[in-house]
Amino acid sequence: MPVLGEVHTIARGFSGGGPTASQQKKYARGVNSIEERISGNPWESDLVFTRTNLQDVVPHDNDSVVISVVTVGKKVHKVLVDQGSSADVMFWSTFNKLRLSLDVLRPYTGCLYGFADNQVEVGGYLELRTTFSDGAASRTEKIRYLVINSNSAYNILLGRLALNRLNAVASTRHMKMKLPDLSGKVIVIESD
C-alpha cells in the first residue's frame, strides 16, 4: 500500500536545547558529558498506580488525561497532559484570557511541527509560575510555554519538558497524574 503522508507528534520547542543549531549542539555536548544519574533528590518519590487509583474512575473511551492548573492567579482548565509533545504550549486564546501583556513574550525563532501536518509559527515564549495541586498538597514550578496562534480544544499542552521537570507520571487507565511535592509526598491530580 502506498504511503500518502505522515503524522507526527508535536516536535521542536525547547526540547533538545532550543531552536538554533548552536543550542542543539550545546545540549548534545551536555547530554554526552553527564554521568549516569540516579536521583539524589531527597524529595523524589516512587510514583505507582494501584487498583485503589481505579476506584473513582468512571469507565471511559480511552480519554486523555486533562487537568487544571493555576497560573497568574487563575485556574486554567482543559490542560492536556501530552506525553508525545516535545513542547509546553499555551494557545493564543488562553494567553488573551489570562490578560497577559505582549511585553511578557520573549522572541522565539523556531516553529513547531505536528499541528495538522504543518509547521506552526511560535509567537514567542514566556515563563509562568504554574501550580499543580490535589487540594492536600501542591507544587509550583516555572514552566516555559511556547505561545502559538492555533485552534485547539485545550488551553495548554503540558509536554515532556514540564513532565520531566516535575518528575510527573500520567496514566490514562487511571485518569490521573502523579508527581512528588518538595517534601516527598505524592500529589495525585485527577483528570477533569
Structural domains in the chain? 63-190 (2.40.70.10)
16 pLDDT higher than 60: no
> In the predicted model, what is the mean pLDDT of residues 1-7?
65
Higher-confidence residue of 159 and 109: namely: 159
Q: DSSP labels for 23-51? A: HHHHHHHHHHHSPP-----TT-------G
Decide if 146 contacts 108 (C-beta within 8 A): yes
Alpha carbons within 13 angstroms on the beta-carbon side of residue 109 total: 5
pTM of the model: 0.77
Alpha carbons within 13 angstroms on the beta-carbon side of residue 119 total: 9
Which tens digit of pLDDT belongs to each residue from 48-86? 888 888 888 877 778 899 999 999 999 999 999 999 888
Reported as a pLDDT band with limits 50, 70 and 90, residue 33 is: very low
Nearest residue to 52 (alpha-carbon basis) of 135, 139, 176: 176
- Other beta carbons within 10 angstroms of residue 59's beta carbon come to 4
Least confident of 7-21, 24-38, 150-164: 24-38
Decide if 139 contacts 131 (C-beta within 8 A): yes
